Structure 1
Amino acid sequence: MATPSSSRSGADRCPGLLTPFVSADGAMVRLRVPGGRVAASTLAEICSLAGAFGDPDVTVTSRGSVQLRGLPDPLPRELITAIGDLGLVPSGEHDKARNIVADPDAALDDLVAELDAALLADPGLAELPGRFLLAVAGSSGPVLGEPWDVAIIDEGGVLRCDGGASKGGSARVLVDGRSVVVDRAAAAQAALEVARRFLAARPDARTWNVRDLPPEARVDLLQGGTACVVEAGAPPAPGPVGEDLVALLPLGLLTPTMVTALVEVLSASRGSSQSSSHLDERGQSTLRLTPWRSVVVPGGAAQAAELETAGFVTRPDSPWTILTACAGAPACTRTSTPTRDLAREAAPLLDPTGPPVHVIGCERACGHPARPHATSPTPASAADIVAAQRSPLRKA
């Protein structure tokens, strides 16, 4: 979530706040958006900066954050200052540690904000690895299907746990198959205490996640924990959810046309019956980016047709619900395979009811979904992608 700016500029407030990845096609910057919560106006500003300095299409990641690609190297000071002033990098030291995924439920907004604020307030937690993932979920929340390290579950009534179900003002903190029930107000600190124990037990810099620790070290991460089995729900399918709309981004790309349509839809929905839970502290509409490369648009159900015309997917029977791809060439210099272009050619030929398929340009398989899926490595044509979906030998 955006943090209010101080009187200093973004660059002065966070010296060295942006460390870009540089390729032959320009620099890439990742902006972490904890829990995917972002004001619509902030997202519009991000997209405007992308178009002004690099590739105008913004990438939404599998952690509900965003990437700006094709940027100059070195990064212009004007860009660094503008990003800092948006409040998206409130601490340069903690930037890599701010990996929080969350269900796109307004009832969880306060837990996401509390977790992010508590993380930023602890200098020691800046040492968390960039792959360490914190999750905030509701009962059987779909985000529990992601590869998290520590999770907070609000109202976890359907969890099968030795300690019983959390109720009322309680939450459950989970790590490595064990959980404890705590007061909801204490959940953020309880989760971060696990993160501190992880750092204390971490033997080296290549130990990225809880699952990388030896079993005897993992046992001590959660004091008083009891065995717990997580039941994750299915990610929200594209389409209306009450007055709101789940709008999928094909290939995770948010284009200028799509952003313009979002702004227009949100302007049209203001003053309607949308609840105040859709507004942030400044009275602006809150969008929720999801780990499944979609965006929950408050009050957007009535304008689904307009958003689909702009490029969003708003129907659950679209092939884009089962098709993903890494950046590929020319955006990534590790491959000569134009994965996204081939995915676009293959989309009309795929079975939307078949297994998901992920197109990759090299062995790193970047951007792959957490769900079971087939892979299409370095395809030469759209036909190779179709064949991968139909071949059990290609399943990951």
Structure 2
Amino acid sequence: MSSPAPRTTPDRCPGALSTHQAADGALARVRLPGGLLTSAQLQVLAHCAAELGNGSIELTSRGNMQLRAVTDTDKLARRLADIGLLPSPSHERVRNIVASPLSGRVGGTSDVRSMIGSLDVAVCAELELADLPGRVLFALDDGRGDVASLAPDFGVRALAPDRYALLLAGADSGVRISAENIIEVLVAAARHFVELRREEWRLSELPDGPARVLARLGLEPGGSTDVPGTSDSLPPIGWLPQRDGRVALGAALALGVLDARSAEFLAAVDKPMVITPWRSLVLCDLDEDAAESVVRVLAPMGLIFDEHSPWIHASACTGSPGCDKSHADVRADVTAAVDAGNISPGERQHWSGCERRCGRPKGAVLDVVAGPTGYRVS
């Protein structure tokens, strides 16, 4: 299979320092390796959204958060640094690490939580990796195949508690490594990509990229692969019993948007949170009474704990007026479609304001694309 054509323009992925100037103002994206977020951090982000942005926080398809219409980017950067969300100004755009959100709590073959911080520190410590494109993705999959399905450039998937498949360009490389070698191998693989790339943003765009990276690593595939197949993942939603007897709550958000007031209420619960790559969140380590209270208070505020909600399957780009390339206010239109009952549970749809189809989930999706004369469905 031939590799995709290399990119001909520089990568312009936004960050917290290198913001994107959208039609509605500066857009700042805050990296959250593994989607991990403390209550104190969420509280500050809520205040930033209310005081410096448009009053809401957007969840992204890589488990990050972003603020729109930021009026003072310097003040935002200082506040993010104060709460530990900007540990490396030189590497802030390349800290793209996803991990199985329920790892260590619900299911999975191995607990990858401790690897998230170690990988983040190692990436930031490698000077060459500051030159990674902002589109590159690292993944730590605990065996269930959820984040492996996101086609990471560099990642692992647990096959046993101490046996992992090395993933390159979204596929099993055939190489098997132990837990103690994961960080070293992933960082070295990313460094070799930096050395080999020209205009390419992703390893899959580099001709024979995985094979060339393996050669530089001095690793050879071990023969036939035994990684289970991956399927299109949906967010963990609702009441999720943890293995320690406590409860995790998975909540979706319409279009992945969390308003500042709801974020403050969520932060007040004062429990660990994981932002998932499916624009949802998991509130962890609750006792049953606390979990029931959270649902009772936050469901009326817009958090969705019903796995059958049509919002689980509906997504959209920013659209007008936030994007000047959009032909329609797609968020208003998809909301009207949900309210009218025109999006059925199980029917995965993505609404786009133009042919770029920004934010489109991977896998089988019904595309609803706006053009100069209306929408086209494909």
Q: TM > 0.5 between the two?
A: yes
Partner of 2:8: none
TM-score between the two structures when normalised by the length of structure 1:
0.80
- Indicate yes or no: 2:207 matched with 1:209: no
Paired with 2:372 and 2:266, the residues of 1 have a C-alpha distance of: 35
Partner of 1:232: 230
* Contact 1:32–1:65 (Cα < 8 Å) also in 2: yes
* Contact 1:17–1:91 (Cα < 8 Å) also in 2: no
Q: 1:187 aligned to 173, 182, 186, which one?
A: 182
Residues 191-215 of structure 1, C-alpha deviation per residue, up to 9 Å, x if partnerless?
Answer: 111112222221x1x2011111112
Partner of 1:9: none
* Contact 2:60–2:279 (Cα < 8 Å) also in 1: yes
The verdict on how the C-alpha distance between 1:76 and 1:319 changes in structure 2, with shifts beyond 3 A counting, is closer
* Contact 1:334–1:362 (Cα < 8 Å) also in 2: yes
* Contact 1:83–1:89 (Cα < 8 Å) also in 2: yes
* Contact 2:337–2:343 (Cα < 8 Å) also in 1: no
Q: 1:84 aligned to 55, 72, 81, which one?
A: 81
* Contact 1:172–1:187 (Cα < 8 Å) also in 2: no
Distance apart, 1:172 and its partner CA: 2.9
* Contact 1:144–1:231 (Cα < 8 Å) also in 2: no
Paired with 1:218 and 1:147, the residues of 2 have a C-alpha distance of: 13
Give aligned pairs, total.
337
Paired with 1:43 and 1:67, the residues of 2 have a C-alpha distance of: 12
Partner of 1:164: none
Residues 13-40 of structure 1, C-alpha deviation per residue, up to 9 Å, x if partnerless?
Answer: xxx9601111342111111111101112
Distance apart, 1:185 and its partner CA: 2.0
Partner of 1:6: none
Per mean C-alpha deviation after superposition, the further-off stretch among 242-251 and 81-90 is: 81-90
Q: RMSD value over aligned CA atoms?
A: 2.2
Residues 172-202 of structure 1, C-alpha deviation per residue, up to 9 Å, x if partnerless?
Answer: 3221431322221221111111112222221
Partner of 2:330: 339
Paired with 1:179 and 1:114, the residues of 2 have a C-alpha distance of: 24
Residues 261-312 of structure 1, C-alpha deviation per residue, up to 9 Å, x if partnerless?
Answer: 3134x25xxxxxxxxxxxxxxxxx3210000011001126423232211101
Paired with 1:138 and 1:77, the residues of 2 have a C-alpha distance of: 37
Paired with 2:316 and 2:45, the residues of 1 have a C-alpha distance of: 23
Paired with 1:208 and 1:192, the residues of 2 have a C-alpha distance of: 17
Greater RCO structure (CA 8 Å; 6+ sep): 2
The letter for the 2-side match of 1:251 is: L
Q: 2:277 aligned to 291, 295, 301, which one?
A: 291
Distance apart, 1:92 and its partner CA: 1.4
The letter for the 2-side match of 1:44 is: Q
* Contact 1:57–1:255 (Cα < 8 Å) also in 2: yes
Distance apart, 1:93 and its partner CA: 1.2
* Contact 2:77–2:86 (Cα < 8 Å) also in 1: no
* Contact 2:348–2:365 (Cα < 8 Å) also in 1: yes
Partner of 2:11: none
Partner of 1:150: 154
The letter for the 2-side match of 1:343 is: V
Paired with 1:292 and 1:76, the residues of 2 have a C-alpha distance of: 27
Gaps spanning 5+ residues in structure 1: where? 1-15, 157-166, 268-284, 389-393
Q: 1:244 aligned to 241, 248, 266, which one?
A: 248
* Contact 1:251–1:324 (Cα < 8 Å) also in 2: yes
- Indicate yes or no: 2:177 matched with 1:178: no
Secondary structure at the aligned position of 1:224 is classed as coil
Report percent identity of matched pairs.
29
- Indicate yes or no: 2:132 matched with 1:141: no
The letter for the 2-side match of 1:319 is: P
Secondary structure at the aligned position of 1:188 is classed as helix
* Contact 2:312–2:345 (Cα < 8 Å) also in 1: no
The verdict on how the C-alpha distance between 1:308 and 1:379 changes in structure 2, with shifts beyond 3 A counting, is farther
Write the mapping of 1:356-375 to structure 2, written as runs, cut at 5 A.
356-375=348-367
Paired with 2:335 and 2:52, the residues of 1 have a C-alpha distance of: 26
Partner of 1:36: 35
TM-score between the two structures when normalised by the length of structure 2:
0.83
Paired with 1:258 and 1:147, the residues of 2 have a C-alpha distance of: 32
Residues 219-257 of structure 1, C-alpha deviation per residue, up to 9 Å, x if partnerless?
Answer: 132212235345225334421101111100110101123
Residues 31-51 of structure 1, C-alpha deviation per residue, up to 9 Å, x if partnerless?
Answer: 111110111210121121111
Gaps spanning 5+ residues in structure 2: where? 1-14, 105-110, 242-246
The letter for the 2-side match of 1:297 is: L
Paired with 1:36 and 1:354, the residues of 2 have a C-alpha distance of: 25
The letter for the 2-side match of 1:35 is: G
